[in-house]
Amino acid sequence: MRVKSPTHGSHSPGPETARPAPPGPAARVGELLVIRPASGLSGDMLLAGLARMAAVETAELSSLATGLGLPAGCVALAQRAVNGINGWTCRVTLPPEHAHRTFADIRRIIADGDLTPAAAAMAVECFALLAEAEGRIHGVPTDKVVFHEVGALDSILDVCLACLLFDRIAPAALVCGPLPLCDGTARCAHGPVPTPAPAVLDLLPGVTVRGIDSQGETVTPTAISLLKGLGATFGPWPEMTVTRTALVYGTRVLPGVANGALFALGRGTVPA
């Protein structure tokens, strides 16, 4: 008996061939900046680490500070050893002052400073984050917030110079490790407050943290506003080829804790 040939458009029995999945987005490769904050972060630590990543020495750092209208020689990079391990620190020497600046005052200082447009925008964003946090804490509009500690010249120097250096490095991504936190007390213009300090606590949503066995302030408002203003993501080390590293210390030494923060620069896959 002859077998009738299948007509046009009919299907032979059997499993269907799976269609290939549509191609996903190609992995993007670029310059990566990584921070691993072992014992915490402050504005001066971020400034020191970014200076090392940008290969900027004291003379140029001081010149950048004078471009903000600050005294010559007010900032310097120096080596420092903690528990016999050499690292870097940033020393800021500015005259004491009692000025309480508003967000508008700080925006004016940034606008008058010798900053690149991108660095100026980032600096304004960092202070805007702080102004919004302080406004929520004290129940006042953002433009009515009066900065005390973070309105001081050293904080303005930390933020503006850090943004200038970050703009110079121009990484495709900034990846930070979990921020270390612990119980304790910090002192501010309003008196003693629990740690994390109120502005830090307000800016923590979306940030990965971990506890450490210590006491006191480990992350400053300047530091967390810089991390968020510079677009940091929080996670593990990305896959990268490391080209530059630095170990940076702050002013405090925490007993029994791995002190300092690690900075690394390299080229690798940009985290999604």
Mean pLDDT by 10 residues, the chain (272 residues): 42 48 65 98 97 97 93 94 96 81 91 96 96 92 79 86 98 98 83 91 97 94 97 96 98 91 96 84
- Residue 106 sits in which domain range? 29-269
- The residues, any chain, with a CB within 8 Å of residue 227's CB and separated by 6 or more, are 35, 41, 46, 174, 176, 207
In a domain, 141, yes or no: yes
In a domain, 59, yes or no: yes
pLDDT of residue 151: 53
pLDDT of residue 10: 43
pLDDT of residue 167: 98
How many domains is the chain built from? 1
In a domain, 35, yes or no: yes
pLDDT of residue 203: 97
In a domain, 12, yes or no: no
In a domain, 13, yes or no: no
Pair type for strands 233-234 and 173-176: parallel
In a domain, 23, yes or no: no
In a domain, 7, yes or no: no
In a domain, 3, yes or no: no
Q: Residue 163 and residue 113: Cα distance in Å, rounded?
A: 12
pLDDT of residue 86: 97
Q: Residue 240 and residue 237: Cα distance in Å, rounded?
A: 8
Q: What angle do CA 96, 98, 104 make, to 5 degrees?
A: 115
pLDDT of residue 23: 45
